[in-house]
Every structure is written in structure tokens, then in C-alpha cells.
Amino acid sequence: MSAEAVEAFASERSDKRLVLVTGPSGAGRSTAIRALEDLGYEAIDNMPLSLLPRLLDGPSPEKPLALGLDVRNRDFSTNALIELIDQHSARARLALQVLYLDCRSGVLLQRFSETRRRHPLAPAESAEVGIAREFDLLGPVRARADMLIDTSDMSPHDLRAELERWYAPRDGSGLAVTVHSFSYKRGLPRGLDMIFDCRFLRNPYWEAGLRGLDGRRPEVVAYIEGDPRFADFSRRVTELIALLLPAYETEGKSYLAIGFGCTGGQHRSVAMTETLAATLAKDGWQVSIRHRELERHGGADGLRHASDV
């Protein structure tokens, strides 16, 4: 989750908030739209993309907005949506956040089978073909999402509870922390508040037995911890974050995004993300984890809470 949009949500008046909700068919977009409506958002599903610029440039809404974007709309375009997000980020009249509801292909296939629905992108073919087409179409949007929630193992009730956790009106107490891992080769994730470079640590990529694994595996963590600089680096970063979080909370900050980067975003940054998140969760902070590069290759489930690890 990017802190850029969610921090704007915390600082802007509620009537200046806008959530764009999208994701593959069957992942829960309609459930999310109804849940946000129950939380006080003015909700519009299947919003034509061509109407969005007019809405964004119009008068300020009286209520926060939640707009569902569906690839079935005749004017839907991945490039047009990303361009619109970029243009809006430059103007920033409304605090915009892209909420992407993700789901594993096998689970989506099961859901279509249970409901006996045809996939909208493959009405005369198998649902599996339509799911693959939609994943390909939405891939760039998924990569640009500020909030990514994997609904594969969620019931509609679970999804509503998760959305309430992040989008219900806040009373000003509590600081939500998200820790990201990423690859410098693909650029910085949007909206990070703090970034730590892990590229100086010994790299498991050069060990044949570790190359195909990631920083969540004990053998990879042990290899990285074998670097004589690791313990001091980890301790100093943890102490710094422990010092800053109460100060940010006192100042009224609602969200904080911390990033760890390495060359490939698979080993060192992932290990540091997991280490810091586990420590913060143990200390009682509300912490979520996102591994950007692992998500791209299907090796992570998107946003998850450190307490779930």
C-alpha cells in the first residue's frame, strides 16, 4: 500500500477523498463498492472511464467517492487509466487512491464454476481463457495500485471487515504502518515515507542453492544474517523506527510507509521487511507487509498483516 494516497486521506477533509476500485472479475469489486457505501462513501459501480476527468475537474463532492472500474466497459483502457492516475497525481485536487482487489486464478475459476457465469472477456470460451486475458490487461494497473488486497481466502464478510479496517472513519488514534520490499531496477514504489538500501548486504542470488528462494525462507535469512554488517544495520534501523513512530503518532500522522530496496527485490529487502514488521507487530504496532516483486511473480499474496505471519 502506498502511503502517498492514504496519508492524503488522513489529512484531507473526507469530502475530498476518492477511491478507484478495480481488479479481475470475481475478485469482489461489487462487494467492496457496497462496503464502502456502507462506510459513508458515495459509490458508483461500472463507472465509464471517459467520465472520470469531468468528475475530477468538477465541484468538490460533499461525500467521499468510491468508483468501481470494470474492464467490461466499452471505453476501458489500461493506458488511459494509468495516464489519468498520473495526471491526477500532478493536480491532486482530490486525494485519490487505487484499490486493487486481487485473487488467484484457480480461485477465480472455481468461483465462476460455482456460479455458472460466463467470463465477460471470454463469453464463448472457457472462464480460464477470460481470466488469463483479464490478468494480462490489468497487470499494469495492479502494479500501480496504492492498496492491494488478495481476496483468494476471504469470504465477503472477511473482505468487508478488511475494508472497514482501512477505510472506516478514523478517530485520530493509532498509526498504521506498511513495510515494503522492492527492486531498485523497477524504481521506487509510490508514496514511501522512508527508504533503506539493502544492496550492501551479502547477496543470496550468487548462491545457487538460494537463488530461486526468497527472503522469507530461513536458509536465506541465515545467509543474510551471516553478513557481519547485518546485525548492526538491523538494530540501528529498528531503533530509529521505534524512536520515530511514537513521534509521528503524536503529530497525528495516520499512515507511514517504510521501504527496503535491493537489486532484485527478492532476498535482502524481503528479509529486512519481514524482520522489521515482525518486531513492530510484537511491539503492538498495526503493521502490514507488501513484497512488490514477489507479488509480480505470484510468490506473495499482496498486502497482509504482520500478525498473520
Query: Residues in the chain with pLDDT < 50?
Result: 1-15, 172-173, 309
Residue 229 shares a structural domain with residue 291: yes
Q: Determine the pLDDT at residue 300.
A: 63
Of 144, 167, 190, which closes a domain? 167
Q: Determine the pLDDT at residue 89.
A: 61
Q: Which residue range is the domain that position 287 belongs to?
A: 176-308
* Burial of 187 per CB tally in 10 Å (0-12, 13-18, 19+): exposed
The reply to whether the predicted model has a pTM over 0.95 is no
Residue 56 shares a structural domain with residue 185: no
Residue 301 shares a structural domain with residue 180: yes
Residue 21 shares a structural domain with residue 91: yes
Residue 135 shares a structural domain with residue 221: no
Grid coordinates in use for 306?
504482520
Determine what percent of the chain falls in helix, strand and coil, rounding each to the nearest 5: 45, 15, 35
Of 167, 195, 229, which closes a domain? 167
Of 139, 167, 195, which closes a domain? 167
Tens of pLDDT along 166-217? Answer: 777 655 446 788 899 999 998 888 678 899 999 999 999 999 999 999 999 9
The DSSP symbol for 229 reads: T
Residue 185 shares a structural domain with residue 249: yes
Which residues are within 8 A (CB) of 259 and not within 5 positions of it... i.e. 6 or more apart?
A: 179, 180, 181, 182, 188, 189, 192, 194, 195, 196
Residue 270 shares a structural domain with residue 203: yes
Tens of pLDDT along 86-108? Answer: 777 655 566 788 899 999 999 99
Residue 135 shares a structural domain with residue 190: no
The position carrying cell 461500472 is: 46
Query: 188 in helix, strand or coil?
Result: coil
- Whole-number Å distance between alpha carbons of 116 and 78: 28
CATH number assigned to the domain comprising residue 42: 3.40.50.300
Count of domains in the chain? 2
Q: Determine the pLDDT at residue 192.
A: 84
